[in-house]
Amino acid sequence: MFSRSHNFEIENQVILITGGSQGLGLEFAKTFLKTTEKTKVIIVSRSLKKLSNACEKITSELSHLQNNSKSKPFTTLSEFQNGNTTRLYYHPCDLSSVVDVETNLQPLLLNIPVSQVFFVAGGTSPRLFKDHSLEELAQGVSMNYLSALYLSKVILSRISTCNHLVFFSSEVSFFPFVGYAQYAPLKTALKTLVCVLRQEFPEKRLSLVYPGNFESEGYSEENLTKPEITKEIEGSSVPISCEECCGKIINSLKHGYDDITTDFIGWVLMSLDMGLNKNWNRSYLWGLQLILGVVANLIIVPIYMVFVNYQIRSWLKKTGTKKRA
């Protein structure tokens, strides 16, 4: 509602991608470098080794990055120069650390004309709340909220060249359920943060993506710890490829949408968040979503929740867990 419409350009940009060493972040980096001639891409994550491996993978797949004898195929962010023809840069940083963001990354960004930021970093280890360690819960806060909170503060306050920030929430922020205590609350918090930022920075384009399941290293790890009741509630879901997920998001951004889902169930869940709610989205067929959301929240959702509650009660009985008296 408050986000001003901008064209989505990927040529002649400086694009910073968090979580760019693997999964969807890596796919965005490859796509932007493959489909443009002058755009520069900066990938950031905590692991220097993973970043180096990611750069090697990207340049091995995109041979044109190696054909320019006047520049390196990739290098560290500290070597960034406006006239440099190198197009791929990497920088290790713990984005959930105030000290690391302020003293390690921010000084470099102040001298770089970043135009777009993709906050892809995040992840989850689905477990029952009682089975999580305190360290795992803290990691959920760090990966899924603080890493976007701190960097977006730097970008919006200090980097005047950046006019487009793309945040990544999750479909479970529309419908949180058992197994996602470490993840869903933080993705919901991120959604709320973007709502506030859109009001405070109406001159910026702030997009929010709610990806469904897609194939990645993180998705494979999720399924190793995911409780059976979580799988039961989710139902059968065939993940799309990282490449397809990336393509859908870029296509939606090009069409001017700023609230983006990557599958039909995500679109339906978003409609429930709109109908009889306070949110207004700039999404695909938003008017239909609003109507569907009102009808579904009045009629369909109450019936569906009876079914979900039955699933949970059956699971509690099966596991011998006593309900509150």
Which of 21, 96, 125, 169 is catalytic? The answer is 169
- Tokens representing 323 are 């309900």
**DSSP-derived 3-state class of residue 162:** coil
Q: Which of 145, 183, 210, 257 is catalytic?
A: 183
Structure tokens at 42: 């900066």
Q: Which of 40, 72, 187, 248 is catalytic?
A: 187
Q: What is the rounded CA–CA span in Å between residue 238 and residue 277?
A: 30
> CA 72, CA 61: separation in Å to the nearest integer?
15
- Using DSSP's 3-state secondary structure scheme, residue 86 falls into coil
Nearest-angstrom CA–CA distance, 224 and 221: 5
Residue 169 is a catalytic residue: yes
DSSP 173-200: GTS--TTBTTTHHHHHHHHHHHHHHHHH
Element (H, E) at 133: none
Active-site annotation holds for 322: no
**CA 275, chain centre distance (Å):** 24
| Torsion sign (Cα): 264, 209, 137, 175 | negative
Q: Whose structure tokens read 């997009």? A: 207
Q: What is the residue type of 162?
A: C
In 3D space, the residue among 205, 151, 143 whose CA is nearest the CA of residue 169 turns out to be 143
Residue 203: exposure state from Cβ atoms within 10 A (0-12, 13-18, ≥19): exposed
Catalytic-residue membership of 183: yes
Q: Which residues are catalytic?
A: 169, 183, 187
